[in-house]
Amino acid sequence: MQAQSGLYPKPSLWAEPSSLVALEQSVTLRCQGPPVVDLYRLEKLKSEKYEDQNFLFIKNMRISHAGRYRCSYQNGSHWSPPSDHLELIATGIYGKPSLSAHPSSAVAPGRDVTLQCRTKHGFDQFALHKEGDTGLYKKHDRWYRANFPIITVTAAHSGTYRCYSFSSTSPYLWSAPSDPLVLVVTGPSATPSQVPTEVPSPITESPRRSSILPSTKASTTGFSHQHYAKGNLVRICLGAMIIIFLVGLLAEDWYSRKKRPPHRIRAVQRPLPPLPLA
């Protein structure tokens, strides 16, 4: 039987309450097509398991339930195109990773922040999930951690985040979620240029005083000029000594770097933890 893509639109397939299901928890897969359908078929890919109905209820999530699913429907002698694939993920297979925010979980609008997921096991895949979102942010890494940068933070980025770790060899068996991290987007703050540190007070000069003491001002002009010239000479000498000292330090550091071979750190492959018993 061939699928008639022009006459029969593909159905929709989703998981309730979520496609991320902890072990021993329940989940329902639902397939929806047009109002009139003769037969539904919901199947798990790469297996011979299927149900001729528009839903699949899993009472207790097991490792064997994890994988990719799709569904289609039949009207008369024709089948519809299959739905988009649904990835059903089993979580809680391994211990939870840790999630942290750098430089801080409180971020001003327009700033950048990086959420880092870390694990002590040799996983090479990581996923970040924001509470309330249907999508996942996946990333590949081989250094037991993954960075999820958020560029130019807005109020929409605030919320509760969790991350997972897993292996590319078992892409549907994930760790337990990390502890929740709450990202708070703070209000705009004043810049230092907007906050004056000192308010200048108005200075007035009495006309009478300036007219009475013209000779005193004239007598001190020469002395002030001589004192200022001596001060400049001392500052120039001190500046030259500091420059000579810094040049010597830079030369010594360059010589020591050239003499010492670079030290390379090699990654240590840590084994994956065993799967739980079925």
pLDDT digits (tens, 9 = 90+) for 56-73: 999 999 999 999 999 999
Helix (H), strand (E), coil (C) string for 191-211? CHHHCCCCCCCCCCCCHHHHH
Per-residue pLDDT reduced to its tens digit, 189-219: 433 333 233 333 333 333 333 333 344 444 4
Considering only 26-30, 58-62, 131-135, 270-274, which range has the smallest mean pLDDT?
270-274
Considering only 104-113, 168-177, 261-270, which range has the smallest mean pLDDT?
261-270
Task: Indicate if the alpha-carbon torsion angle 205, 207, 208, 214 is positive or negative.
Answer: positive
**Bond before 17 cis per omega within 30 degrees:** yes
Instruction: Point out the domain boundary residue: 132, 156, 185.
Output: 185
Return all residues near 220 (Cβ < 8 A) that are at least 6 apart: none
Structural domain tally of the chain?
A: 2
Q: Does a structural domain hold residue 32?
A: yes
Amino acid of residue 108: A
Q: Is the domain of 103 the same as that of 177?
A: yes
Token pair listed for 223: 């002395």
- From the number of C-beta atoms within 10 Å of its C-beta (0-12, 13-18, 19+), residue 164 rates as buried
Instruction: Point out the domain boundary residue: 185, 214, 233.
Output: 185
Q: Does a structural domain hold residue 84?
A: yes
Whole-angstrom CA distances from 62 to 19, 41, 57, 65 are: 13, 22, 13, 5
Question: In the chain, pLDDT over 90 holds for what percent of residues?
Answer: 56
Mean pLDDT score, 5-30: 92
